[in-house]
Chain A
Amino acid sequence: QVQLQESGPGLVKPSQTLSLTCTVSGGSITSGNYQWSWVRQPAGKALEWIGRIYTTGRTDSNPSLTSRLIISRDTSQNQFFLQLTSVTAADTAVYYCTRDAQRFDGTWDVFEQWGQGTLVTVSS
Chain B
Amino acid sequence: DIVMTQSPLSLSVTPGQPASISCKSSQSLLHSNGRTFLYWVLQKPGQTPQLLISEVSKRFAGVPDRFSGSGSGTDFTLKISRVETEDVGIYYCMQSIQVPRTFGQGTKVEI
Contacts and interface: CB of A to CB of B under 8 A. Distances in A.
Interface of A: 37, 46-49, 60-64, 96, 100, 106-112, 114-117
B54 A109 contact: yes
A61 B58 CA distance: 26
Given A46-B92, A46-B105, A47-B49, A111 B100 contact: no
B55 A111 contact: no
B30 interface: no
Contact of A114 (B1, B49, B55): B49
Query: Interface size for chain B: under 10, 10 to 19, 20 to 34, or 35 or more residues?
Result: 20 to 34
A110 B96 CA distance: 8
Nearest to B99: A60
B94 A110 contact: yes
A47 B92 contact: yes
A5 B47 CA distance: 15
B39 A111 contact: yes
Interface in B59-95: 60, 92, 94
A60 B99 CA distance: 8
Contacts of B99: 60-63
Given A46-B92, A47-B41, A110-B54, A116 B48 contact: yes
